[in-house]
Amino acid sequence: GHALWILATVHEAAGDVAAAIAALRELVDLDPESQPTLARLADLLRSHQRFAEAAAYRRRLVERDPAGPHAWALMSEAAIAGEWSWVREVAARLDLSLDPGDQGPLDYPFGRCKIRFDEGGADLWGERRGPVSARVLSIVGPRKRERYRDLVVLDTTDLREPSETSSSDQRRPDVPIFRALATIERAEWRSFTVDGPNPGEAEIDLLRSIVRTLDGELSDRTNPKRRLRDREAADPDTKALPAFYAFIAVSPSVDLVELDFCLEALVDTFERPLAWTELAHALPPGPARDAALERNERIVERFGL
């Protein structure tokens, strides 16, 4: 047995994960009750996104110690594998409140959190929808794959530094930060930027209302220090204008031509225009797209966006 443990270590260090897993499985066959071997095998499978296999081995550990250190890890792995009965079973043993119903995915409010993805970038706001899952509430923006409304499974180890968890600053939201292990439901929302001179709070509220009516969401990302010049101003010494910058995210069901039309109709009532270049490029080929591209190019040139 000791030789197989060492062999697994050698294979893992050499990057031969398949051989390391094979050695650990052989060791489990020799000693099915070995908790260190079961834990190491489950962790190795998990680290290589083989969650269903990891859950099958980790379940043996949780059956022996239902409230032990492996319970939360098992819930995450089982959720990714679609074994929701296992998640419910462990959650019940931990005395976690469960949503109504006795089968299928857990989906009920479990508090706010922040979600960290492996590809980097800022942590995203999320609403936990059970012990180990969360729905993304932050709009990522068009330069990366949009994750808004995606449902992810979490590694529930809190990534905050001790200084963050003990902060007395009441202005900082006291929410845990979790790593996303896998996306189990893609919402497939699309996002675009809106850029230009700041139209004012009332106008921004109207813009947000229009977007929500069309099954979308607006996230104001304005830098309050940013200023723009209107190159069509009659007086070249006209004071620089406060800028406005936002992300708009819309569900897959939204007609982009209708979205462009509604935005243009509203913004035409503002003192100065706004641009949404990515949306214009996303329109289907035709007169509406040509007109939108031309309009946005003029606005970009006018304000140096």
pLDDT at 96: 82
- On whether the CB atoms of residues 136 and 154 are closer than 8 A, the answer is no
Tokens of 261: 């039309």
* pLDDT value for 302: 94
What's the whole-model pTM score? 0.86
For residues 280 and 274, what is the distance between their CA atoms, to the nearest angstrom? 12
CA dist 3 and 36 (Å) reads 15
Q: Which CATH number fits domain 2-93: 1.25.40.10, 1.10.10.10, 3.30.870.10, 3.40.640.10?
A: 1.25.40.10
Q: Which residues are paired to 124 by β-bridges?
A: 115
User: How far is it, in rounded angstroms, from Cα 105 to Cα 108?
Assistant: 10
240 DSSP 8-state letter: P
CB 36 within 8 A of CB 9: no
The stretch 82-86 carries a mean pLDDT of: 92
Per the model's pLDDT, the better-predicted residue between 67 and 47 turns out to be 47
pLDDT reported for residue 172: 54
Percent residues over pLDDT 70 in the chain: 94
| Token representation of residue 122 | 């800022």
Q: Where are the domains of the chain?
A: 2-93, 112-185, 190-303
Is the CB of residue 159 less than 8 Å from the CB of residue 116? yes
Domain spanning 190-303 has what CATH number? 3.30.70
DSSP string, 137-179: -S---TTS---TT-EEEEE-S----HHHHT---TTS----EEE
Average pLDDT over residues 21-46: 89
Confidence of residue 1 (pLDDT cuts 50, 70, 90): low
Q: Evaluate whether 54 touches 28 at the Cβ level (below 8 Å).
A: no
SS3 246: strand
What is the predicted pLDDT for the residue at 126? 97
Taking the CB of residue 224, how many other CB atoms lie within 10 A of it? 8
Higher pLDDT, 232 or 246: 246
Helix (H) or strand (E) holding 125: strand 124-128
Q: How confident is the model at residue 236, as a pLDDT?
A: 65
What is the tens place of the pLDDT at every residue in 185-214?
Answer: 999 999 999 999 999 999 999 999 999 999
Q: What is the pLDDT of residue 26?
A: 86
C-alpha distances (whole Å) from 208 to each of 13, 217, 255 are 53, 7, 17
Check the CA dihedral 191-196-198-203 and report its sign: negative
Say what the pLDDT of residue 2 is. Answer: 82
Residue with tokens 């809190």: 158
Give me the half-sphere count of Cα atoms (radius 13 Å) on the Cβ side of residue 159.
13
Band (pLDDT 50/70/90 cuts) for residue 164 is low
